[in-house]
């Protein structure tokens, strides 16, 4: 049977998926990984999306998992798209949860250099706190908010800065080609989107609203199943786990519970 694998976001860890592991664990094999430098997985000093995807496959190989449905949140969307492009035959399906594209198309090194210029080491920890504060709605509990904010500053500032710059470079140079690989290998792609970002910050999406990130996905993967979850923050799996799980249920039923997934 296909294993449902959850991949967390930037400076987060697998505990973000506790409600999903509990709910879907009664239906199929489930797993939430910690990427290098996050949670209980040691850093390997290679702060690229390619290195994170490689580590993901190494962890899954060590467990003997041959077929997986991947669910990624935020940065995790990038990781699973990158991972799928390297081993498409092992991926039953992909689910992107509130992903984004934070750099326009262009040269990778140029995007990374620009990102490093805007993220100064001095005050970077405060930048991270403010960055995460903008992601929440009142639905998230005070304890969850504190835990996420505290966790965001555990990673060394220079490492977090390097990783975020690499994310920008990937967005600029790899995002569209990764989507083309999904289309080329006919990997089923689903999206649950809750927010959008602009020069004024992060905003909850309204029902029926779109954004350039979603438009690019629809253009490159015409068969993608795109769903907007309105009125939510960046962590719908934590803020509204029951509603989120109901949306995710169709994905799980199609790709983890059918005979074709075995």
Q: At 178, is the pLDDT very low, low, confident or very high (cuts 50, 70, 90)?
A: very high
Q: What is the mean pLDDT of residues 36-53?
A: 89
* Per-residue pLDDT at 133: 86
Alpha helix stretches (DSSP H) within the chain: 18-24, 49-62, 75-86, 108-118, 124-133, 142-152, 157-173, 175-184, 212-220, 236-239, 241-255
Per-residue pLDDT reduced to its tens digit, 80-99 = 999 999 999 999 999 999 99
* Per-residue pLDDT at 262: 42
Q: What is the mean pLDDT of the chain?
A: 92
Q: What is the mean pLDDT of residues 51-64?
A: 96
* Per-residue pLDDT at 59: 96
Per-residue pLDDT reduced to its tens digit, 111-138 = 999 988 887 766 777 888 888 888 988 8
Q: At 230, is the pLDDT very low, low, confident or very high (cuts 50, 70, 90)?
A: very high
Whether 207 shows a pLDDT value over 50: the answer reads: yes
**Percent of the chain, pLDDT > 70?**
97
Whether 259 shows a pLDDT value over 60: the answer reads: no
Distances (CA, A) of 195 to 66, 76, 198, 230, 243: 33, 16, 10, 8, 16
* Per-residue pLDDT at 261: 45
Q: Which of 47-51, 105-109, 215-219 has the highest mean pLDDT?
A: 215-219
**Contact criterion met (CB below 8 Å) for 252 and 31:** no
Per-residue pLDDT reduced to its tens digit, 235-246 = 999 999 999 999
Give me the domains of the chain, ranges plus CATH numbers.
3-103+174-261 (3.40.50.1820)
* Per-residue pLDDT at 127: 80
* Per-residue pLDDT at 141: 87
* Per-residue pLDDT at 216: 98
3-class SS of residue 30: strand
Whether 220 shows a pLDDT value over 70: the answer reads: yes
For residues 116-128, b (16+ Cβ closer than 10 Å) or e, as one string? eeebeeeebeebb
């Amino acid at each position: 049977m296909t294993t449902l694998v959850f991949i967390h976001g930037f400076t987060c860890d697998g505990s973000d998926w506790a409600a999903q592991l509990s709910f879907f664990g009664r239906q199929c094999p489930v797993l939430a990984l910690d990427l290098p430098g996050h949670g209980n997985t040691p850093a390997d000093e290679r702060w690229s999306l390619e290195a994170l995807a490689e580590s993901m496959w190494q962890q899954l190989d060590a467990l003997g998992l041959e077929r997986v449905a991947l669910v990624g949140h935020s940065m995790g969307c990038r990781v699973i798209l990158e991972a799928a492009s390297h081993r498409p035959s092992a991926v039953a399906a992909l689910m992107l949860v509130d992903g984004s594209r934070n750099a326009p198309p262009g040269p990778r090194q140029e995007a990374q250099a620009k990102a490093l210029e805007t993220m100064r080491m001095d005050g970077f920890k405060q930048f991270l706190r403010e960055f995460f504060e903008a992601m929440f709605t009142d639905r998230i509990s005070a304890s969850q908010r504190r835990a996420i904010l505290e966790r965001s500053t555990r990673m060394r500032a220079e490492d977090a800065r390097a990783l975020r710059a690499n994310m920008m470079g990937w967005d600029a140079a790899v995002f569209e080609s990764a989507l083309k690989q999904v289309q080329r290998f006919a990997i089923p792609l689903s999206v649950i989107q809750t927010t959008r970002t602009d020069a004024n910050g992060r905003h909850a999406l309204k029902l029926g609203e779109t954004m350039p990130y979603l438009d690019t996905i629809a253009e490159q993967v015409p068969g993608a199943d795109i769903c907007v979850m309105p009125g939510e923050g960046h962590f719908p799996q934590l803020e509204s786990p029951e509603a989120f799980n109901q949306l995710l249920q169709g994905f799980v039923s199609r790709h983890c519970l059918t005979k074709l997934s075995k």
